[in-house]
A and B are shown apart, each in its own frame.
Chain A
Amino acid sequence: MSVSQSGGEGMQQIDLTKLAFPQLTQLKNQLDSELGVVQDSLQTLKRAQVKFQDSKESLDKITPSSQGNPIMVPLTDSMYVEGKIADADKVIVDIGTGFYVEKSIPDAQDYFKRRVAFVTLQMEKLQFIGTEKMKIREAIIEVMEMKLQALQAQKKAAASVASSSS
Chain B
Amino acid sequence: MVEEVQKKLESELNLFKQCQKEYQKTLNSRQLLSAQLNENESVQKELELMKDGGGEVYKLIGPILVKQELEEAKQNIKKRIDYISAELKRHDDTIATLDTKQDGHRENLTKLQQQFQQEQVAKMRG
Residues of A within 8 A of B (CB): 90, 92, 95-104, 107, 111, 118
In the assembled complex, the CB of A21 is this many whole angstroms from the nearest CB of chain B, namely 15
Instruction: Report if A92-B58 is in contact (Cβ < 8 Å); known contacts: A99-B73, A100-B65, A101-B50.
Output: yes
A101 to B, closest residue via Cβ: B57
- List the A side residues contacting B46 at CB < 8 Å: 95-96, 99, 101, 111
Whether the Cβ atoms of B55 and A102 lie closer than 8 Å is yes
For the A-B complex, the count of residue pairs with Cβ-Cβ distances under 8 Å equals: 52
Range for the number of chain B residues in contact with chain A: 20 to 34
> What's the Cα separation between A95 and B59 when bound, in Å?
10
CB distance from A17 to the nearest CB of B (A): 22
Min CB gap B34→A, angstroms: 12
Q: Which of B36, B43, B55 contacts A99 (CB 8 A)?
A: B43
Enumerate 22 A-B pairs (CB-CB under 8 Å) in ascending A order: A90-B55, A92-B58, A92-B65, A95-B42, A95-B46, A95-B47, A96-B42, A96-B43, A96-B46, A97-B40, A97-B43, A98-B60, A98-B61, A99-B46, A99-B47, A99-B60, A100-B59, A101-B47, A101-B56, A101-B57, A107-B54, A111-B46
Given the interface pairs A100-B60, A100-B65, A101-B46, the reply to whether A107 lies near B39 with Cβ below 8 Å is no
The answer to whether the Cβ of B2 comes within 8 Å of any Cβ in the partner chain is no
Q: Which of B36, B40, B56, B77 contacts A102 (CB 8 A)?
A: B56
Q: Which residues of B contact A101 (CB under 8 A)?
A: 46-47, 50, 55-58
| Interface contact A102-B42, CB-CB below 8 Å | no
Most buried by B among A92, A101, A102, A107: A101
